[in-house]
């Protein structure tokens, strides 16, 4: 088998290419993709070449970890949970031979272990690509003793964190420097940082990825308060010691979501506790991938860009 896939040959060199697929082994499923999302955090760093080095890093690579498709075939031993024709969420794949799958979800067809293909409600449709960010938000919230009462950034991740807070009975404040992105809040307030004089936040969650904000955020904490870093940072994290010492501030880093987080948000969406409405702003055919990535990274009006693979399968 082969597939069409987005390939980053080098930083800023992106194309749609045909790649050979690794044959499925026992326990694998073949998934025909319908949609994949473009991450403006980690994928932007891959695109610009500023992603910090970590195991598996290198070019050429297939990006993408927010994909939804249908199971085309099941290998022996794939398990009773995998059914041909079922719509599933796939958080990436490593099935492209010499081309790295980092994260490997931006392709028309993939081969993955069956346990990585999570069944999702049929009616969720292309909004299923948002489950990865929802799981990221869930993991960040559930890992702390106190839920964030200030969220920095009103992109998709910030909106999901705020919606989870509202669902839990709180009313978080969200900072957003771009006036156009202050729209769309329901049950919480979105303001400019300059308009906020509070200095008593218990937990501040930064999803902006801006390492330069840390000193200001520490100055907004109550004694014993926590800074939660839920974005991805290409710069070194540093802060002035004395203000942090005086507040006995805590710093927590939210790592990658776990499978249980993904199941939890899938179920929260299914029972109506969490809404994914209004977060996808741009949809294009996968054949226009090069333009789509530029729009996703450069247009501040683009909250979430998704590629439609259905014509490429």
* Sheet (strand 2-10) strand order: 13-20, 2-10, 61-62, 100-101
**Looking at the chain, which residues constitute the CATH 3.40.50.720 domain(s)?**
144-253
**Looking at the chain, which residues constitute the CATH 3.90.180.10 domain(s)?**
2-125+278-308
Q: Among the CATH numbers 3.40.50.150, 3.40.50.720, 3.90.180.10, 3.30.56.10, which is that of 2-125+278-308?
A: 3.90.180.10
Interatomic CA distance for residues 51 and 235, integer angstroms: 10
| Residues of the chain above pLDDT 70, percent | 99
pLDDT of residue 108: 98
pLDDT tens, residue by residue, 263-286:
999 999 999 999 999 999 999 999
Mean pLDDT, the chain, whole residue set: 94
Name which residue leads in pLDDT, 243 or 77.
243
pLDDT of residue 81: 67
pLDDT tens, residue by residue, 115-136:
999 999 999 999 999 999 999 9
Lowest mean pLDDT of 34-38, 76-80, 215-219, 228-232, name the range.
Answer: 76-80
Quickly tell me which residue has 């506790």 as its tokens: 273
Q: Residue 53: which pLDDT band, with cuts at 50, 70 and 90?
A: confident
pLDDT tens, residue by residue, 197-211:
999 999 999 999 999
pLDDT of residue 102: 80
Give exposure, 234-256, as e/b (b: 16+ Cβ within 10 Å).
eeeeebeeeebeebebbebebee
Helix axes 259-270, 131-142, angle to 10 degrees: 110
pLDDT tens, residue by residue, 144-196:
889 999 999 999 999 999 999 999 999 999 999 999 999 999 999 999 999 99
Identify the architecture of domain 144-253 in CATH.
3-Layer(aba) Sandwich (3.40)
Closest CA to 73 of 128, 26, 18, 106: 26
pLDDT of residue 117: 96
């Amino acid at each position: 088998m082969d597939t069409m896939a987005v390939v980053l040959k080098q930083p800023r060199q992106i194309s749609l290419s045909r790649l050979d697929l690794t044959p499925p082994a026992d326990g694998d499923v073949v998934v025909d993709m319908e949609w994949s999302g473009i991450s403006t955090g980690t994928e932007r760093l891959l695109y610009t070449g500023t992603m910090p080095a970590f195991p598996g890093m290198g070019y050429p690579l297939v990006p993408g970890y927010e994909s939804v498709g249908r199971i085309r075939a099941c290998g022996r031993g794939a398990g009773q949970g995998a059914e041909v024709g079922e719509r599933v969420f796939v958080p990436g794949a490593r099935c492209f031979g010499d081309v790295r799958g980092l994260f490997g979800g931006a392709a028309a067809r993939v081969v993955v272990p069956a346990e990585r293909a999570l069944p999702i409600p049929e009616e969720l449709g292309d909004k299923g690509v948002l489950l990865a960010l929802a799981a990221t938000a869930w993991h960040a919230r559930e890992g702390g003793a106190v839920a964030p009462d200030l969220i920095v950034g009103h992109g998709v991740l910030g909106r999901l964190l705020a919606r989870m807070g509202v669902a839990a009975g709180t009313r978080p404040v969200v900072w957003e420097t771009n006036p156009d992105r202050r729209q769309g809040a329901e049950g919480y307030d979105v303001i400019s940082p300059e308009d906020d004089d509070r200095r008593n936040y218990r937990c501040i969650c930064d999803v902006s990825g801006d390492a330069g904000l840390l000193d200001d955020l520490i100055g907004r904490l109550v004694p014993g308060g926590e800074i939660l870093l839920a974005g991805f940072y290409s710069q070194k994290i540093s802060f002035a010691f004395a203000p942090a010492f005086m507040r006995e501030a805590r710093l927590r880093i939210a790592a990658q979501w776990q499978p249980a987080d993904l199941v939890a948000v899938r179920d929260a969406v299914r029972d109506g506790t969490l809404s994914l409405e209004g977060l996808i702003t741009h949809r294009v055919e996968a054949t226009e991938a090069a333009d789509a990535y530029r729009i996703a990274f450069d247009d501040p009006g683009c909250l979430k860009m998704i590629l439609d693979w259905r014509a490429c399968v």
